[in-house]
Amino acid sequence: MKRITLISLFSLLCLGMQAQNWDINTVHRINSWDGKFIRNYNKVISKTEPYVAIGVPVAMAVTAWIKDDKALLKDAVYIGTSVAGAFAVTYGMKYLIDRERPYEKYPDRVHPYSREDSPSFPSGHTSTAFALATSLCVKYPKWYVIAPSAVWACSVGVSRMNEGVHYPSDVLTGAVLGAGCAVANIYINRWLNKWLFGE
């Protein structure tokens, strides 16, 4: 029994070391993409995330209020609470886990094209981008909503690695958290709609 336990612990340690190597090697490779178009595209996409993630549900709510459209207001509440939920869960995890940014831990391998004050894991930009994209796709399952939403959310994730501020594991976890919050919020919003709209 002791031998099996030791072998299991050793195997887990080896897997953890390989995963860390994969993480740093991947971020190093993506951070090295240095064409002018790629660098500018990633910088712009990374900076659009907070404006788009907040702006879309706010614009929907304002439009619903102007048009007195209850269905659109419900969609805006669902999308806005999906983004807010993803933000809250992600930032709670960030400070609980407190992982160093790649450019802090590996300054010789990763160049920071931007700097962040918060911990690295998981990616907040990616989480809220995927929460927005997933919730939009749930409410409006049309190709012309799904395709641009997916491209934008994936671009945000890649841009965070290209900027040198996140590992791939940060980005993948952020994507899963964001999409998961949007899916879980389908059920939470049933209760929220009863409370807000009396239905």
Domain assignment of residue 18, yes or no: no
| pLDDT bracket for residue 8 (50, 70, 90) | very low
Report how far residue 61's alpha carbon sits from residue 42's, in angstroms, rounded to the nearest whole number: 29
- Look at residue 64 and tell me if it is in a domain: yes
Confidence of residue 157 (pLDDT cuts 50, 70, 90): very high
Check which CATH number belongs to the domain holding 57 and give it.
Answer: 1.10.606.20
pTM value is 0.85
Q: Poorest-confidence range of 61-75, 168-182, 185-199? A: 185-199
The angle subtended at Cα 161 by Cα 131 and Cα 22, nearest 5°, is 105
Q: How confident is the model over 28-45, as a mean pLDDT?
A: 88
Q: Using CB atoms within 10 A of its CB, is residue 150 exposed (0-12), middle (13-18) or buried (19+)? A: middle
- pLDDT, one tens digit per residue, over 74-109 is 899 899 999 999 999 999 999 999 899 999 988 888
Note whether residue 11 is domain-resident. no
pLDDT of 17 reads: 42
Range of the domain at 75: 33-197
- C-beta atoms surrounding 106 within 10 Å: 17
Give the separation between CA 137 and CA 184, rounded to whole angstroms: 14
What is the domain count for the chain? 1
